[in-house]
Amino acid sequence: MKPLDYPSAVLELIAALKRMPGVGSRGAERLALWFLQHGRSDADRLASALTAATGGVGICPECGFFSESGQSCAACADMTRQRGVFCVVEQPTDVLPIERCGTYRGLYHCLGGKISPLDGIVPEDLAVESLLARVRRQPGCEVILAVGSDVEGEVTALYLAEHLASLDCTVTRLAQGMPAGAGLGHADRITLTRALEGRRSL
Give me the residues that bind its own copies (CB under 8 A), please.
1-7, 9-10, 12-13, 15-17, 19-22, 27, 30-37, 39-40, 42-54, 56-57, 65-68, 73-75, 78, 80-81, 91-93, 95-96, 99, 102, 105
Element (H, E) at 154: helix 151-164
Of the two residues 57 and 175, which places its CB atom closer to its own copies in the complex? Answer: 57
Question: For residue 101, how many other CB atoms are within 10 A of its CB?
Answer: 7
Give the count of beta carbons closer than 10 Å to the beta carbon of residue 178: 15
Q: Which is nearer to its own copies, 47 or 133 (CB)?
A: 47
Of 108, 110, 111, 109, which is closest to residue 81 (Cα–Cα)? 108
Closest distance between its own copies and the C-beta of residue 123, in Å?
Answer: 20
**For residues 126 and 164, which CB has a smaller minimum distance to its own copies in the complex?**
126
CA atoms within 13 A on the CB side of 178: 12
DSSP E strands: which ranges in 31-168? Answer: 57-59, 66-68, 85-89, 107-110, 141-145
Nearer of residues 92 and 153 to its own copies, judged by Cβ: 92
What's the min distance (Å) between Cβ of 148 and its own copies? 16
Minimum Å gap between C-beta 5 and its own copies is 7
The residues, any chain, with a CB within 8 Å of residue 101's CB and separated by 6 or more, are: none
Q: How many Cα atoms occupy the beta-carbon half-sphere of 185 within 13 Å?
A: 0
Q: Using the minimum distance from each CB to its own copies, give the nearer residue, 1 or 196.
A: 1
Least gap, CB of 181 to its own copies (angstroms): 19
